[in-house]
Amino acid sequence: MAHDSGTRTLISHAQLRRGRGKVVYWTLLTVVVVVFTLVFLGPLYWMVTGALKSGQEIAQTPPSLFPRDPQPQNYVDAWNNLDLAKLLFNTFYYAAGALFFQLVLDTAAAYSLSKLRPVFGNAILGLMLATLMIPAMVLIVPQYVTVIDLPILHLNLLDSPFAIWLPLVANAFNIFLLKRFFDSIPEDLMAAAVVDGATPLRTLWSIILPMSRPILGVVSIFAVTAVWKDFLWPKLVMPSPETRTVSVGIYAFSGGTPMNVVVAASVIAAIPTVVIFLLFQRNIMSGLTTGSLKG
């Protein structure tokens, strides 16, 4: 990381490089690195190694820092007894479908609102953005009632993946992010294609989408992690043991399972999102800041 470049912050660079400032800076930096590692990585270490301890060892006082007699069996039990393969597959399936529907439908809608601008477009956008004001818990009951008996069609979506996929398409934040990005793509770029007789779909596919990879990446990552982290909605609409998500499955089993096995299962359930984070942390950080700042 460059030492001297970048803008000036609260404390000037010069002050941090002179005698006392330098000492304070390095002391503080060391303290913060150590404390943050303990606070944010420590519990994760405790989780992974705790699940390796025997039931006896986890109950001993004071607790041991390293598992004395590691029991990988806890992880094996978690995998087998909770049928984690099935739970993880379900969650992955819901996440993939949610990603697909959000990318296709929200991108199409944002493109229309940004570039095609049909009549009532702004009114529709306003109604969409208004849903950002309504907390999820307020809607949970009427949404559930809607899903078990869809208006007009009278379908029951319980235990159907569509009960997870379709409500997630109604994500005003996605529409807002995508539309703002599309707004910033210059019209001249499209004009040439239109003169050549390209249809709106062709323009979207060949001009807009290739330019929008960063924002599509951000929307994708949030779509996948949202499904992975969600709890109450999948718990309500996926009640059968065969259709549960991994978080709900672990919760359902937590009552009658030894606690080390529950934590081992929790560790396994957390691996996919942690891997996604480490792979895509740059996109996630930029998405967080672009999404929230200028709006």
H or E stretch at 113: none
Min CB(205)–another protein separation in Å: 12
| Shortest reach from residue 146's CB to another protein, in Å | 5
User: Binders of another protein among 1-30, rule CB under 8 A?
Assistant: 1, 3, 7-13, 16, 28-29
Cβ atoms of 268 and 84 within 8 Å: the answer is yes
DSSP state of 253: H
From the number of C-beta atoms within 10 Å of its C-beta (0-12, 13-18, 19+), residue 99 rates as buried
Structure tokens at 209: 């989408």
Of the candidates 138, 211, 139, 226, the residue with the CA atom closest to the CA atom of residue 174:
226
Residue 295 to residue 291: CA distance in whole angstroms: 7
Q: Report the nearest approach of another protein to the CB of residue 179 (Å).
A: 9
Q: Which residue stretch of 67-75, 77-85, 92-100, 161-169 sits at the interface with another protein (rule: CB under 8 A)? A: 161-169
Closest separation between CB of residue 166 and another protein, Å?
Answer: 5
The one-letter code for the residue type at 77 is D
**279 forms part of the interface with another protein (CB under 8 A):** no
If the CB atoms of residues 76 and 191 are measured against another protein, the closer one turns out to be 191
Residues 86-125 that bind another protein (CB under 8 A): 104-106, 108-109, 111-119, 121, 124
Is residue 206 at the binding interface for another protein, with CB under 8 A as the rule?
no
Q: Is 37 in the site for another protein (CB under 8 A)?
A: yes
Instruction: State the nearest-atom distance from the C-beta of 72 to another protein, in Å.
Output: 18
Contacting another protein within 126-155 (CB under 8 A):
127-128, 131, 133-147, 150-151
Using CB under 8 A as the binding criterion, the count of chain residues that bind another protein stands at 121
- CA dist 110 to 11, 39, 168, 174, 191, Å? 42, 41, 15, 9, 19
